[in-house]
Each structure stands twice: as structure tokens, then as C-alpha cells.
Chain A
Amino acid sequence: MIKKRRLTTSLGDKTLRLLTLLMAVSVLVLMAWMGWKMFDAARPSIQKFGFSFITGRTWDPVKEQFGALPFIYGTLVTSLLALLLAAPIGLGVAIFLNEMAESKFRAVVGFLVEMLAAIPSVVYGLWGIFVLAPWLRQTVEPGLAKWFGFIPLFQGTPVGFGMLAGGLILAVMILPTIAAISREVMAAVPNMQREAALALGATKWEMIRVAVLPYAKSGIMGGIMLGLGRALGETMAVTMVIGNRPDILPSLFAPAYSMAAVIANEFTEATYDLYLSALVEIGLILFGITLVLNFFARLLVWSVARGPKGGNLV
């Protein structure tokens, strides 16, 4: 009892506890405050355009017409393309590093993959403008058009700057996220599972397929969703290579626009309140989507990496 009293009555102790509590709660406040601030600033636009903001295809600040569909389209297409490319490769990297590579090799390659995430987005954009886009224009897009030109996705003039460039660069940027989360959840798979499979005579691949992947499945899904979230909100690199034209065209070669890109490009040029408000509303939609996506993605990751073992929450 004496110990208990001494532990709780000192003034410094109480201050520290209170201070840390305040800071912890501030995270919750911060998130709510961000949502509120965005909603508040977007209100004029929400009231004026209502639902037609999302379905409208005309973005014309001069005539005070704001429809965000071209941006939503550009964001979705580039992000899905990125996911299609990055998810299998990211998962492959995670399997290679976690289940196959020797520990020294694993440390080095793991570090290199993490470096992919450390390269600033604006540097990817610079590389996209001067290396990726010209390469796509001269080599990749004519090639795709030649072999797969019967599909509308691969028709039209090769421009270089467009949804294909945006999707490719996003794929590079979200790959480390998918790889890292997949590694985390695969590391949480108990070794007993692996040993049991091996003891039954499974080959390495069979062990991975039977014992590791099913166990880590929902966590891997979560990782892929987190990657998608990152792709949806990624701003600079996409702004620099997507071509910045608010049209909805079926071809991947065509210039397009993304939600984050239009905010980045036009925010400081928004000359009147409604214009600014419309841009904030695009931000609010982006905020809402990434919030929901992250919420469910984290639930999935937690269910694997934290849930069954319970070690971290105890």
C-alpha cells in the first residue's frame, strides 16, 4: 500500500501522466478536426452542387461549373492499374524475402525495397517526366498499340504523359507498402504451421501455398488496400506525368487528371471562394475514401499481425 501511494501521489507523476494522456488524445482530436475543417471549407460547394459534383463531367472555373468526375476517373484508373502491377510483384518480393532468402541477403534486399519508399515523390515525378514518359512514347506505347491495338485501352496517339505513365509510377511507389505489410503479416504466421507442412512432405512452394498464404491472407488483403490508399492520394509524381487534362477517355495513353493533381495545380490559383471550395470538396472526397479504405485495411492487418497472438495488445 505504501508503494501504491508513492507511485501515484507525486505531482510530477501526475503531470507526466496527464501530459501523455493529452498528447495521445490529441491524435483523435487531430483526425476529427481535419475532417471538420475540410467539411467546413467545402460546404459552399456541397450546398451549391450537391450530388452533381461527383457525376458532373465539366470542370470550368471561368463559368463556375464544377464537376469532379474526370478527376475521380483518372484517380481510379491509375490506382487500379498500379494495384494490378504492384500487388503480385509486391507479394512475390515478400514471399522471396520472408520464406526463401538467406538472412544476409534478406537484410540487403529488404533495405533496398524500403529505399523505394524513401525516394521522395517529386523525384519520381522528375524521373517520370524526363525518362519514363519519353520511353513510353517512343517504345512502349507504339509496341502496345501494335500488338494489342484492338483493345480500346491501347488505342490513340502515344503521348507518354497519361494514365499509363501515372499508373506505372504509382505501381513503383506502392510496391514497397504492399511488400512491407505482406512481410509483416507473413512473419506473424507461426513457424509451427510451416513445420507441420514440411513434415508432411510439402515442397517449399506447397508449404507457402498451404500453410503461409491462407494464414496471412486477410493481412495481405489489408496490405494491398493500404497500397491502394497510398495510390489514390499520391500527388506529386502523378501530377507531373498524368498530362493534366480533365477528360474521360478510354485509352490508357490519353492524358488525364487525378483528384490530388487538380488540387496541387489549381489550389493557389483559385481566384474566388466557390472555386476554392470545390477544390476542397475534392480533397474531402479523397479524405473520405482513404479514411474508409485505411480503416478496413488496418482492421484486416490487425486481425493477422496482432489479433491471434494477442502479444502486442496485452
Chain B
Amino acid sequence: MNDYLRKYKNLMMLIVFIVATIIALVPLFGVLGYVVKNGLSALNLQFFINLPKAMGLPGGGMANAIVGTLIMVLIASVIGIPIGILAAIYLTEYDRNSWLSTAVRFATDVLTGIPSIIVGIVIYTAVVLKMGNFSALAGGLALAVIMIPLIIRSTEEMLKLVSHSIREAGYALGISKGKTIMRIVLPTAAKGIITGAMLAVARVAGETAPLLFTALGNQYWSRSLNEPTASLPVQIFQYATSPYKEWHQLAWAGSLVLILIVIVINLVARFAFRSRSI
């Protein structure tokens, strides 16, 4: 093949890859554009302080859904983050190569690929049926199950970046292994671990499927953690699939709020805590 043809082919392929990248970004701006456009026009103060109104009435809000999402994400974080970090400590600090660690690592990877609606089913049969009602607790638990493998993965990556000489310095000073981990290794990797945890929070905050039959949803305020609880994603789903125009508007506004939450968390996590030099 002559050189001219090779160079021509090279150029063509490079253009193909650039076009692929542009195509990939079109839906991002398409979705964001429509959500901002339709969401902004429906967003107002009432959205944040009012309860949903009956169909057809203007002026309803999603205050209970916003609070419900915050509560369930909080429950999930309280359960999922410590479990995930501790498991990751085992995988990096105590036992890097055994068959057990490999199995746990592999199971973690596989778990991240399990559809989230499956988690909803499992928590429904295990928790909702046992307790006899849908609840924020069950919803939070379902989100925690989704969070755990994400936290393990990100924390493990960060702990692996901590150089061995730092650990050895600890041992050389006669500090026990446990203290070395808690006082030296973890703080060194803290930024990265927090970044990973925030990304996991952003991820579960937008989850709908696992909440459908665990937290269910609620048109009113929930008075305890043991009651059906509204959440932003489930509310958006219900409004979007309803036939009422007012509710569609609220769904767009809710999506804008949800996307803002997710993007802000992502940006803060990536840029405020970006320094990964350890």
C-alpha cells in the first residue's frame, strides 16, 4: 500500500473517532438542555415547600420527596460507607492475595453489575414482607446494598495508592498495625475515599427501581422511618407516566433538581478532592 493511501486512511479513521465522540455527547446535551428548559419554567419556591397537590390543581411541590430522598440516602450512607470501607481495608491491608480476597473482589465487581431492581425485590421479600409495610428503612437498606460494592471498589483503589514506605514508617516507630491503618493509612487516602463515597451517594440518589417496592412513595409527609416514604426519583416516575400536564411540569422540575444534585456532587467530588497525589 502506498504512503498516500495509508495517510489518507489514517486521517479518515481519526475523523471517524472524532465523529463517534460527538455523537456520544449529543444525547447528553439533548437531555440536559430539555431538563433545564422545561424544568426552569416549572421550578419555583412552592416546589420546595409544598406537598403534592391533587391532580389538576396548580402549585403542588415535592418537598416531601426531596426530604425523603435525603433521608434514605443518609440511611444508605450510614450503613453502606462503613461496611464498604472496612471491607476494602481487609482487601488491601490484611490480605491482598489469598483466594478469599480474590473471591470478594470478584463478587464486588459482579455485584455492581446486578440490576438494581433485583435489589428491590430481595429487600421486599426480606424486609417489607417481614415488617408488614413499605418504609424509608427498607428503601435506605436497598440503596445501601447498591452502595457497598461501589464503596469497596473506590476505597480499595485509593488505599492501594498509599505507598508502602508510609506503612513501614509506622511499624518502624513501633505503632501497631491497627493504629497504622486508622491513623496513618486512612487519613493519607482520605481525600480519595471521600471522593468515592460522594460519587456513590450521587449514584444512589438517582436510583428509582430499588425504591419502587421498598419505600413505595407517599403523597404526604412520612412521620417515621417505618412508613411509606416519597422520593424524588419515584415521584418523577409517577408524574411522568401520569396523563396530567401539571404533573408533567413537576416531573421536569423534579428532574432538574435531581440532576443538579447529582452533577454538583460529581463536580465537587472530582474537583474539590481531585488531588490524588499521595
> Inside 8 A of A21's CB, which chain B residues have their CB?
90, 94-95
| B6 on the A face (CB < 8 A) | yes
Q: Which residue of A lies closest to B271 (CB)?
A: A111
With beta carbons under 8 angstroms apart, the residue of A91, A116, A122, A286 that contacts B237 is A122
B94 CB to closest chain A CB (Å) equals 6
With beta carbons under 8 angstroms apart, the residue of B27, B90, B101, B251 that contacts A116 is B27
B116 CB to closest chain A CB (Å) equals 7
- In the complex, are the beta carbons of A286 and B115 less than 8 A apart? yes
Q: Which residue of A lies closest to B84 (CB)?
A: A23
> Inside 8 A of B114's CB, which chain A residues have their CB?
34, 233, 287, 290-291, 294
What are the interface flags for A1-44 relative to B under an 8 Å C-beta threshold, 1 for contact and 0 otherwise? 00100111010110111011111111110110110011011000
B21 CB to closest chain A CB (Å) equals 5
- In the complex, are the beta carbons of B90 and A20 less than 8 A apart? yes
> Inside 8 A of A240's CB, which chain B residues have their CB?
237, 240-241
In the bound complex, CA of A100 to CA of B21 (Å): 12
What are the interface flags for B142-178 relative to A under an 8 Å C-beta threshold, 1 for contact and 0 otherwise? 0001001100100000001000000000010010111
- In the complex, are the beta carbons of A19 and B86 less than 8 A apart? yes
Of the candidate stretches A59-67, A203-211, A247-255, the one touching chain B is A203-211
In the bound complex, CA of A6 to CA of B241 (Å): 63
Of the candidate stretches A140-148, A189-197, A263-271, the one touching chain B is A263-271
A211 CB to closest chain B CB (Å) equals 14
- In the complex, are the beta carbons of A235 and B104 less than 8 A apart? no
In the bound complex, CA of A23 to CA of B205 (Å): 23
Given contact pairs A120-B259, A131-B30, A264 touches B117 in the complex (Cβ within 8 A): yes
Given contact pairs A30-B111, A38-B122, A123-B35, A13 touches B208 in the complex (Cβ within 8 A): no
Given contact pairs A27-B108, A268-B213, A16 touches B240 in the complex (Cβ within 8 A): no
Question: Which residues of A256-305 are within 8 A (CB) of B?
Answer: 260, 263-264, 267-268, 279-280, 283, 286-287, 290-291, 293-295, 297-298
- In the complex, are the beta carbons of A235 and B116 less than 8 A apart? yes
- In the complex, are the beta carbons of B117 and A7 less than 8 A apart? no
With beta carbons under 8 angstroms apart, the residue of B13, B21, B213 that contacts A205 is B13
A29 CB to closest chain B CB (Å) equals 10
With beta carbons under 8 angstroms apart, the residue of B14, B28, B90, B121 that contacts A115 is B28
A209 CB to closest chain B CB (Å) equals 8
Number of interface residues of A (CB under 8 A): 95
Q: Which residue of A lies closest to B91 (CB)?
A: A24
Question: Which residues of B91-127 are within 8 A (CB) of A?
Answer: 91, 93-97, 100-104, 106-111, 113-122, 124-126
| B53 on the A face (CB < 8 A) | no
- In the complex, are the beta carbons of A111 and B270 less than 8 A apart? yes
In the bound complex, CA of A124 to CA of B31 (Å): 7
- In the complex, are the beta carbons of B181 and A121 less than 8 A apart? no
> Inside 8 A of A236's CB, which chain B residues have their CB?
208-209, 233, 237
With beta carbons under 8 angstroms apart, the residue of A95, A122, A230, A312 that contacts B206 is A122
> Inside 8 A of A7's CB, which chain B residues have their CB?
171, 176-177
21 A-B pairs with C-beta separation under 8 A: A12-B178, A13-B179, A17-B90, A17-B178, A20-B89, A23-B86, A27-B108, A28-B104, A34-B114, A92-B17, A112-B25, A113-B25, A115-B263, A126-B251, A131-B30, A131-B34, A229-B113, A235-B116, A235-B117, A264-B117, A313-B97
20 new A-B pairs (CB below 8 Å) besides A205-B9, A230-B113? A24-B90, A27-B87, A27-B104, A34-B119, A88-B20, A92-B21, A122-B233, A122-B236, A125-B237, A126-B236, A240-B237, A260-B117, A267-B213, A279-B121, A286-B117, A294-B109, A294-B110, A298-B110, A312-B160, A313-B97
